[in-house]
Amino acid sequence: MAGSGTAHMRPDASPVLTVDQMVVEFPVGRKQVVHAVSGLNIDLLPGETLGILGESGCGKSSAGRAVMQEPPPTSGEVRLDRQALTGLKPRELRRARSKMQMIMQDPVSSLNPRRKVRDLVAEGLAIWGFEGDDKDAAVRETLVAVGLDPDVVWDRRAHELSGGQCQRVCIARALMMNPEVLICDEPVSALDVSVQAQILNLLEKTKEKFDFSMIFIAHDVSVVKNISDRVMVLYLGKTCEVLPSTGMETAALHPYTRTLIASIPGGEEIATPGDPVTGPVASDRPMSAAATELPSPLNPPSGCRFRTRCPLATDRCSAEEPQLRPVGEGHFIACHNVAV
Amino acid sequence: MNDTNELVLEVADLHTVFTTPRGVMRAVDGVSMSLRAGETLGIVGESGSGKSVLGRTVMGLIADNATTAVSGSVRIGGHDVHAMKPKDRRKLWGPEVAMVFQDPMTSLNPVKRVGAHITEALRLHLGLNRKDAHERAIDLLRQVFIPEPARRMKQYPHELSGGMRQRVVIAMALACDPKLLIADEPTTALDVTVQKQILDLLASLASQRNMATILISHDLGAVEGRTDRVAVMYGGRTVETSLTSRVFARPAHPYAEALLASIPRIADAPHTVLRAIEGAPPNMLAPPGGCSFAPRCRLAQDRCREEQPQLREMSDGVRGLHAEASHLGACHFPLTEVTERQEVG
């Protein structure tokens, strides 16, 4: 569980984004360090959507932000189109990074409340020196592409829009830069269920039209499965499992992934009978609460980081860190004890 | 009347109207419901549908004042909540009705120890002495599966995780053995893995104590497997209510149907296009005339925009079993097998 390794990387492919041994740590005083991300490897192919799944505190947002160099990772390398972003001078970084855009969880607070929609959407163009009449036309076109009526929202500010509309403006802002990679950090968790479906459909549609790759970070298994081609499950800053999204609810093997799937409504029925993690034994008795608490990222468990909550944990798990190993076509897990 | 069937809650034609600087808002606009001991009712709806205001009005936390008008009646265990003096109403809170809120951190006092939160209610309402209250509080913490309850009693809320805090809030709510528990989005602030534990805990405690429960949530999945009946709210009104299994299997109201269709399901293949509901929930300060869902409804006709539909029986299939087992919906053109077939054709 929560292990390391590079087995899931595809050396033959030509990825648009590569993350190599990325480590994110935050000092918190008294020489203590939060280990947010510990040795993450990602390769993202053109046109691919990678879902990053995990509960809060597992490092998924820190990972997304570190890819954006916002702030840069403690160590490791991020390459966009073979160009290393880590170590660039600020001015060069800004130029290189314009091909990578991010969408945040709370759409209302990520928009400047004093600016109008037309300025918000045109901001990227203004910064990169796009001038002339075409600017308005380009903004209008993008607003239409995200399902907003330019004549209605043109002069509005964020507070005059609903949450779903604000998220559309955020998507329009990102699209203006014609990105190669779009990083979405929980883009639908602040939205109502009916609006969530609109935004998910919109992301799929624009991805096809504008032809970019996507990293989609979320805690909801069903949402991640819906939008992703490949899913990576994180736990306390380490990768547990990488698998194709098709059929993931039955194919997932890692005890942590199985726990996540079993906790969605109706997830118990998906669990195969006799499954030691989600089978009748584990779901009938209320789990001892201590065993279900996330350990502190200040002092993560030795060996496999999931072992303190894992029903399969043995002595080996505390002594030796599991490495990602292939268990099927495009399917990798980091666990000593799952027999395949 | 035997004990298991006792009517715990009766709400009749309840209206909660706020006068705001920007206009009059009918947050709850004529809701009726009833609940028997041991029964669980789910209230689902999007934000702004009035479900939380309904919960608070039932509890008596929102009462008549200069800017708020409450009409209709709420009877909890035979007491008319809104006809009572505030002082008497306080005596209901605890032994008769208790509430669990969304964010456990704001429900707990950061400068009081966990133990003090629970013993306060025990000493005030049940008149226990310090020692008995302490014993009882430890027992309550044990019932909500908090390990080492004696040690937790001395801790402050910030020393506990979110899931633990919500367990403490549940223990507080259960301290005086209420007949009715109102849980308003009890798991929304919690992690997915913790969410399931808290919902399972609430369900098992309710059945042990034969307690009536109202589970308010925007999460249809949370309500689906854990409630006996469900009420779907939209624009301050109940648009459909029946047995949970029935509403989820065969929704009659187009809103309920569309809401169910819009959530991604784990069994669906990746990149399945979701059936989103176009548009946004109604502006409650200026609700549309007629049916409030008409502007977003794929089946809306002229009559829907002019005349507000009233709750009525949607099918004869389950009537006669139980008064509350009827299937009520507020729609002029409910989904029947005929309209569904036309849709496909």
A127: Cβ contacts below 8 Å, ≥ 6 apart: none
Q: Do A264 and B192 touch (CB under 8 A)?
A: yes
Residue A292: predicted pLDDT: 64
What are the chain B neighbours of A227 within 8 Å (beta carbons)? Answer: 270-271
Q: Is the ipTM of this complex over 0.90?
A: no
What are the chain B neighbours of A225 within 8 Å (beta carbons)? Answer: 264, 266, 268, 270
Q: Strand A230-235 relative to strand A49-53: parallel, antiparallel, unpaired?
A: parallel
What are the chain A neighbours of B258 within 8 Å (beta carbons)? Answer: 194
Q: Is A255 at the interface with chain B, CB within 8 A?
A: no
DSSP line for B27-51: EEEEEEEEEETT-EEEEE--TTSSH
The per-residue pLDDT for range A156-199, each reduced to its tens digit, is 999 888 888 899 999 999 999 889 999 999 998 888 888 889 89
What the block records as the tokens of A176 is 């203006």
Q: Measured between alpha carbons, how far is B191 from A90 in angstroms, rounded to an integer?
A: 36
Percent of chain B with pLDDT over 70: 93
Using alpha carbons, select from A322, A324, A328, A323 the residue that is nearest to residue A340: A328
The per-residue pLDDT for range A117-162, each reduced to its tens digit, is 999 999 988 888 776 668 888 899 899 989 888 888 999 999 888 8
Using alpha carbons, select from B299, B336, B298, B296 the residue that is nearest to residue B317: B336
Partner residue opposite B263 with nearest CB, options A165, A193, A198: A193
Q: How many residues does chain A have?
A: 340
H or E element that contains B167? helix B162-174
Q: Do B193 and A226 touch (CB under 8 A)?
A: no
Mean pLDDT, range B55-62, rounded to an integer: 91
**pLDDT score of A282 more than 50:** no
Q: Is A193 at the interface with chain B, CB within 8 A?
A: yes
Cβ atoms of B157 and B111 closer than 8 Å: no
**pLDDT score of B289 more than 80:** yes
Greatest distance between any 2 Cα atoms in chain A: 68
Q: Do B269 and A246 touch (CB under 8 A)?
A: yes
Q: Do A197 and B274 touch (CB under 8 A)?
A: yes
- Band (pLDDT 50/70/90 cuts) for residue A270 is low
Residue type, A120: L
What are the chain B neighbours of A195 within 8 Å (beta carbons)? Answer: 276, 280
| Helix A134-145 × helix A193-210 angle, to 10° | 130
- Averaged pLDDT of chain A: 86
Q: Is A218 at the interface with chain B, CB within 8 A?
A: no
What are the chain B neighbours of A290 within 8 Å (beta carbons)? Answer: 147
Residue A281: predicted pLDDT: 37
Mean pLDDT, range B122-146, rounded to an integer: 91
pTM of the model: 0.84
Alpha-helical segments (H) within B210-301 = 220-224, 244-249, 254-262
The number of angstroms, rounded, from the C-alpha of A130 to the middle of its chain's C-alpha atoms is 31
Q: Do A197 and B276 touch (CB under 8 A)?
A: yes
The per-residue pLDDT for range B89-100, each reduced to its tens digit, is 988 998 999 999
B31: Cβ contacts below 8 Å, ≥ 6 apart: B11, B13, B14, B50, B54, B72, B231, B233, B236, B237, B238
B17: Cβ contacts below 8 Å, ≥ 6 apart: B24, B25, B26, B27, B68, B69, B70, B71
